[in-house]
Amino acid sequence: MSPLATGRRRRTVPLLALLAAGSLTLGAAPAADRHDPVPPQGAESATLDEYSPLEAYQQVQGPWKISPYTGLMAKQGPVLAVKFDNARRARPHHNLDKADLVYVEKVEGGMSRLMGMYSSRIPKSLGPVRSARESDVELLKQFGRPALAYSGVRSALHKYLKNSPIYVRSHGSLPRAYFRAPGRSAPHNLFVNPAKILKSAPGAWKPTDIGFRFGPAPKGGTPMAQRTVRYASASHTFRWSPAKKRWYVSFDGAPARLSDGRQMSARTIVIQKVQMPPSKYRDVNGAVTPYIKTVGKGWATVLRDGKAYKTWWQRPNAKSGTSFIQKGGKPMPFAQGQVWIVYEDA
């Protein structure tokens, strides 16, 4: 049976030092007004060391460089974003574990969709694929000009996506890159061939710094065995395994399985509190689509090494990355490997 069926000149430093410091100066957070959440002390003037992962790239010969998405040495291919269906009938997911980064987004009716960001590893097929949303453009601008694979959008949103800096490649615009998987029912059976998407987008950018920093766990944190993020019609649970040293993922109370039967897991989970007001668009059934505001600032909880760390996030504009800051102004380091960003109502 098919698995689918189931600025200034900087001095150079040694590469290892760059990996340990992992760094870039962060812009100051915008001044808080009476409507804003209050940042932790030191966040307003938070800085890291003067070195960026991008400088480490320049010291590594060949195609293997440090991924700014995972902190691991990896081949740096063009960036591809894929919108994944997360309805119960869409599971299990195929090759979502190959993504460098996974976003969990709220959509109409309090359900969720996933977006996988790929660069280090490009599988032969991915899915099931579903539609994009207006706020995906804001989110993806920090990746420069990535390619985006999705099933389609309402006609009112098509022009908005087409006019964005993203290489949008829907099922309708590039049908040869998509196929229907046997053993699944529509609309949960649409899969994509990533190589065909990227071939049609030769200008897609390779990875750049999006604000993540990687390193050993900081002091402090609150021991946590499990954390759940709930939407009206979906739940996402992350359970720490001391033996495996990973957070295991469950959707709607059941283990989140891959098409090969394994349960999805990651070493870093970021629960980012954001505003999600109604957008001006609706889905085909007339339900209001939430607009996930990823530009701004607010609180986040970083789960790593069996602990929860309260952090402050800030992203001054759509073209900038998202910084995660500890109390006192130091960057919050992630554990190396795949990162999940889960959006939660502020």
CATH of the domain at 245: 3.50.90.10
pTM for this model (two decimals): 0.84
pLDDT at 28 over 90: no
Compute the average pLDDT of residues 122-129.
97
Confidence of residue 53 (pLDDT cuts 50, 70, 90): very low
**Does 248 score more than 90 pLDDT?**
yes
Give the whole-angstrom CA distance, residue 300 versus residue 326.
10
Mean pLDDT over 138-158 rounds to: 92
Return mean pLDDT, the chain: 85
- Tell me how far apart the alpha carbons of residues 45 and 52 are, in angstroms, rounded to a whole number: 18
**Exposure on the CB side of residue 322, measured as CA atoms within 13 A:** 24
Total domains in the chain come to: 1
Residue 50 structure tokens? 């003067």
Question: Which is more confident, 16 or 219?
Answer: 219
Identify the three-state secondary structure at position 137.
helix
Q: Which two tokens stand for residue 102?
A: 């996974």
Burial class (CB in 10 A: 0-12, 13-18, 19+), 163: exposed
Q: Among 175-184, 233-242, 277-286, which is the least confidently predicted range?
A: 277-286
Whether residue 49 is predicted with pLDDT greater than 60 in this model: the reply is no
User: Of 346, 331, 119, 102, which is closest to residue 214 (Cα–Cα)?
Assistant: 331
- Quote the pLDDT of residue 177: 98
- The domain containing residue 299 runs over which residues? 1-346
